[in-house]
Amino acid sequence: MKNRTAYLILALAIVALVAVFAWQRWMAPERYDWRDSWVKDAYSEQSDQPYGTQVLHNLLKRYFPDKKLIDIQTDLASELPIEDESRASYVFVGEALFLDSLSTRRLLDFAAAGNTVLLSSKTIPFDLMFHLYYAECDDAEWNDYEIFEDSFVTATVLTPPLDKPVHLHFARQNQPQSYRWAFIEAQFFCDSLPQRPLGYLNGSNINFAEFPRGKGRFLLHTTPLAFSNYSLLQPETREYAAAVLSYLPVGPIYWDSYSRVPEIVGRRRNQGQGFSRQLPTEHPFSYILQQPPLAWAWYLLLGLAGAYLVFRAKRRQRIIPVLPKNENSSYEFISTIANLHFREKNYQNLCVQNMRLFLAQVRERYGLVAQLDADTLKPRIDAAFVERLSLVAEVPVKQIQDIFTQYTAAVQYQPTEDMMIQLHLAMERFFKQAK
């Protein structure tokens, strides 16, 4: 009887241990967030997740004795001082940063006064690079940071030199994953200009560089992943981050989280701006809207003007007669032509017309221009065009390549009805998924 009781207690204990293990394994909330949506909260100084910057933020609080770390809470243009008795530093870590014209000017003046600006991001605003790279190297017009994909990279700093290259990687659930690494092309550095490389990825891709500005300088770093919690908790990567931070002068540090935006937002804004040799347009209302009294006066003026127009129109506007709806005969014409081609089984011409409409919509929605070759009827595109279209439309590269592959087969050979239908469905699927 005693043995039976002991066995029963042992069995219940085993069941309890298995239940606790199962609950912790499958039911308990995960301590760390490794989801695909990590970019939304990445590099936040409030986050203790793998790709937050809480460790770096706490480190900078004690980086220089008797020097403060100041968080920019609302606006860079109003909180960042132009002149300081001691040399100060501005630090930004994130996928990309958004700067308006006033913030850009304040950051440039801050560096010109003898301070240091460290920007660790995967893309950089064109309106800022207009000033930092105003004088160009021969045949080297600025076109943003370049990207390459890899699971592992090695990082080095020229001064102070590291004992050995540092291995960096992006991981989910502690498993290395392929990652898009940014770098600055070597063509933007020439003997006639003062900017110079300070560090490399894989020995040849520049990821850390100095751009002098007045009495100070800009330090451009393209690998913010090296400053994440996940990286700084590894001794090897911590040594690399310390080498980069050693370029900051002794003085107060201004930490900017207000300007942080996702990489896709920064690159999309750059594509909308382009990079021309003209000064960026200043918006006269930027200062007004940043001053609360002036902003309220502006809103009150707009409200009064709107109320005047509403009541004036209500009292004076005559009754608008109902007009018959205009008929658009273009649809009937298009339908007639399409039926004619379809009855004649001219599937190749239908595929060509479909591709022309597809490229026209891509040009109108995303500003990416591609033409059909007059002789071969093939689109004049390259891998860079497909990559940019994938980035702005948020559609996988393989899906876009599949559209052009099906179209190329349709114009090279005599297409069948099924080939024409599959090409149309692929294009329709693209626009349903595109942002």
pLDDT, tens digit (0-9, with 9 covering 90-100), for 323-349: 777 765 545 655 665 665 566 677 788
The whole domain housing 375 covers: 329-433
Same structural domain, 209 and 354 = no
Give the residues across from 93 on adjacent strands: 120
Q: Angle at the Cα of 62 (from 64 to 70), degrees rounded to 5?
A: 85
CA dist 241 and 226 (Å) reads 7
The answer, yes or no, to whether residue 117 has pLDDT greater than 80, is yes
Same structural domain, 99 and 237 = yes
Same structural domain, 169 and 120 = yes
Same structural domain, 415 and 273 = no
61-70 long-range contacts, Cβ below 8 Å, gap at least 24?
63/245, 63/248, 63/253, 64/250, 64/251, 64/252, 64/253, 67/250, 67/251, 67/252, 67/253, 68/252, 68/253, 69/252, 69/253, 69/255, 70/252, 70/253, 70/254, 70/255
Q: Name the DSSP class of 165.
A: P
Confidence at 205, pLDDT banded by 50, 70, 90 = very high
Same structural domain, 214 and 246 = yes
Query: Over the stretch 394-406, which tens digit does the pLDDT of each residue have?
Result: 889 888 888 888 8
Same structural domain, 181 and 271 = yes
Does 165 map to a domain?
yes
Angle between helices 383-393 and 347-366 (to 10 degrees): 60
Residue 93 structure tokens: 């870590």
Radius of gyration of the chain (CA): 29
**pTM of the full structure:** 0.59
Same structural domain, 379 and 399 = yes
Does 5 map to a domain?
no
Count of structural domains, the chain: 3
Does 366 map to a domain?
yes
Same structural domain, 228 and 127 = yes
Same structural domain, 349 and 222 = no
End-to-end CA distance of the chain: 71
Residue 324 structure tokens: 């018959």
Does 211 map to a domain?
yes
- Letter for the amino acid at 61? K
Confidence at 307, pLDDT banded by 50, 70, 90 = confident
Same structural domain, 210 and 303 = no
CA dist 340 and 358 (Å) reads 21
Same structural domain, 275 and 400 = no
Does 342 map to a domain?
yes
Same structural domain, 411 and 334 = yes
